[in-house]
Structure 1
């Protein structure tokens, strides 16, 4: 309170600036926008296009790629949050059988060879 009153009595500054606080450094800006831009571009490609031997992007692979290629040191949790914000949801990849040839005869059943 005393410092506030002393600043008010300071006649060297205009009245509207006497009680105004000085600029503070505050919290450093986060990398959220930069990470979001990089992830948007990465998710439109496959890891094989970037030289990895993985068919799908994983969180650890994205963290490693951001650190190596873009010098962005981020945690896996940060990447997961950014992906969630972009609308991506985690789902375990499933093996999908290809469709059978309709002309292929099933091996069980008749043993006559017809």
Structure 2
């Protein structure tokens, strides 16, 4: 009875250019790759090229390493200004933050503290005075 209705499933698959494994769904018209990595090469990108180069970020990284060894701290706007002045690269400080995070830089906000100026003898004397002032126990 099937032959009276129309062509069989194999013939209809041949007409829509389908592989037998995919059933009756039509195959896309995308070109078949030969399996080499050259077939996956990026096309030229649209838009403006980046303002910074890898060499600019390497120079910034070297400067930050030197500054860390000297104990100097930097803000992102100051780093952006350094790149503009020394390398001629205009980068917004918020984008510079993203670039530095991509390279593995992490930072914390500096805190004001006087702990480094405290003398151990003075602290012990102050603790003794405080012990005498306690009203409980």
TM-score (norm 2): 0.47
Residue 39 of structure 1 and its aligned partner are, at CA, apart by 1.9
Q: Note the 1:39-50 alignment, pairs <5 A.
A: 39-46=60-67
Residue 94 of structure 1 and its aligned partner are, at CA, apart by 1.5
**What stretches of structure 2 of length at least 5 have no aligned partner?**
1-43, 133-137
**What stretches of structure 1 of length at least 5 have no aligned partner?**
1-23, 50-54
Count of aligned residue pairs for this structure pair: 82
Q: Note the 1:84-103 alignment, pairs <5 A.
A: 84-96=101-113, 97-98=115-116, 100-103=118-121
Do 1:67 and 1:74's aligned partners in 2 also have CA atoms closer than 8 Å? yes
- Which residue number in structure 2 is paired with residue 35 of structure 1? 56
- Give the root-mean-square deviation of aligned CA atoms: 3.2
TM-score (norm 1): 0.54
Do 2:56 and 2:87's aligned partners in 1 also have CA atoms closer than 8 Å? no
Higher relative contact order at CA 8 Å, sep ≥6: structure 1 or structure 2? 1
